[in-house]
Amino acid sequence: MIEIQNLSKVYKTKNGLVKGVDDVSITIQEGEIYGIVGYSGAGKSSLLRCINLLERPTSGKITVDGTDLTSLKGENLRVARLKIGMIFQHFYLISQKTVFENIAFALKAAKMPLDQIKGRVEELLEMVGLSDKRDVYPTQLSGGQKQRVAIARALANNPSVLLCDEATSALDPKTTKSILNLLKKINKELNITIVLITHEMDVVKEICNRMAIMQDGKVIEEGSVYDIFANPKTELTKEFIESVVSFEVPETIISRCEGPIVKIMFKGKIAGEGIISDTLQQFNVKGNFLHGSIEYIQEMPLGIFIMELKGQKEEIKTALQYIGKREAQVEVLRDGH
């Protein structure tokens, strides 16, 4: 669906050339929700804006639905862009126009016949849950309602791709969840491919199938959201994940522990099974839970537990081997005193 090949974007500044995007290659499958994560300045917004050529790449190639956008100009590019909707953090609604008129504006710009516009706008308003707001102005709307209007406007011309540039960053947690649920609904019902950039791992965890982590214009890690949460490879990725799933145990607690401290991770369906309790019953080992939870990523459980084990050294070793054979990942964080 979207293929980004060796993409670079170089900006000229008064201090010289700066690489906003540095030789990035990504393939995004049709119908998936793909997250691009990074701190401010990582290059994620530049990359997103290159996808629809709001920013023209310095080098590389972008293919969307079989069309090489980097080879297009003028009217051909304008027509191709109609199939790529975009929403932003700050909505960018026209304050002097009603909700209805804001959405209709996109259709008029695309030269839809006037007799078809009214029906299409009403259909879009129903889809985003704002039929009762058709005649009000943006200043009368909440942040979440404004973003719903922006989403309706982005969907006006039946795009196959929706680009979301920090679409929930200006919203409170409850409103963010409602917007993410709307995006999931759009993705499922319309099979629209969604590319979402954010610095919030909660958003990625909630909605994305796959993700890329960016730093200094480069993609430093990529894969399924579940696999990256379960087994992050880079320090930056670990830092992002810890902002959502923290398993730090205070040193004052650790200092009181005499036995070895272990971290046990259960992936998939076994996360819901009582493997630890089975182990403690079968072996002459006692467990002192220090931290733990089961996270749900794309409705798949990921269980992570940190515990102190007490008992004979060989018995503890055998117990950990038993847990490992049950498809769990075991890491000894500290040997016993």
Banded pLDDT at 98 (limits 50, 70, 90): very high
- Per-residue pLDDT reduced to its tens digit, 119-162: 999 999 999 999 999 999 999 999 999 999 999 999 999 999 99
* Final residue belonging to a domain, choices 222, 242, 262: 242
What's the number of domains the chain is made of? Answer: 2
Q: Are 85 and 155 in contact (CB under 8 A)?
A: yes
134 and 153 fall within a common domain: yes
Q: Report the distance separating Cα 155 and Cα 244, nearest Å.
A: 31
DSSP 175: H
Helix locations, the chain, DSSP H: 44-51, 74-81, 99-109, 114-127, 143-155, 173-190, 201-207, 225-230, 235-242, 251-254, 275-282, 313-325
229 and 115 fall within a common domain: yes
135 and 38 fall within a common domain: yes
Average of pLDDT values for 3-8? 96
223 and 83 fall within a common domain: yes
Q: Identify the three-state secondary structure at position 167.
A: coil
Lowest-confidence region among 35-44, 209-218, 322-331: 322-331
* Final residue belonging to a domain, choices 242, 259, 289: 242
* Final residue belonging to a domain, choices 194, 217, 242: 242
Q: Is the predicted pLDDT of residue 55 greater than 70, yes or no?
A: yes
Banded pLDDT at 6 (limits 50, 70, 90): very high
| pLDDT for residue 196 | 95
Question: Which of 91, 96, 228, 100 shows the shortest CA–CA distance to 156?
Answer: 100
Q: What percent of the chain clears pLDDT 90, i.e. is strictly above it?
A: 53
Q: Report the distance separating Cα 53 and Cα 163, nearest Å.
A: 12
In this structure, what CATH number is given to the domain that contains residue 315? 3.30.70.260
In this structure, what CATH number is given to the domain that contains residue 222? 3.40.50.300
Question: Regarding predicted confidence, which is higher, 59 or 303?
Answer: 59
Model confidence pTM above 0.85: yes
- Per-residue pLDDT reduced to its tens digit, 16-37: 888 999 999 999 999 999 999 9
Q: Report the distance separating Cα 46 and Cα 57, nearest Å.
A: 9
217 and 264 fall within a common domain: no
Q: Are 6 and 60 in contact (CB under 8 A)?
A: yes
Q: Is the predicted pLDDT of residue 265 greater than 90, yes or no?
A: no
100 and 223 fall within a common domain: yes
| pLDDT for residue 272 | 56
218 and 76 fall within a common domain: yes
260 and 237 fall within a common domain: no
Q: Find where tokens 């998936």 sit.
A: 32
Determine the structural domain holding residue 319 and report its residue range.
Answer: 251-334
176 and 132 fall within a common domain: yes
Q: Report the distance separating Cα 248 and Cα 204, nearest Å.
A: 22
98 and 236 fall within a common domain: yes
| pLDDT for residue 13 | 87
323 and 237 fall within a common domain: no
235 and 262 fall within a common domain: no
| pLDDT for residue 271 | 61
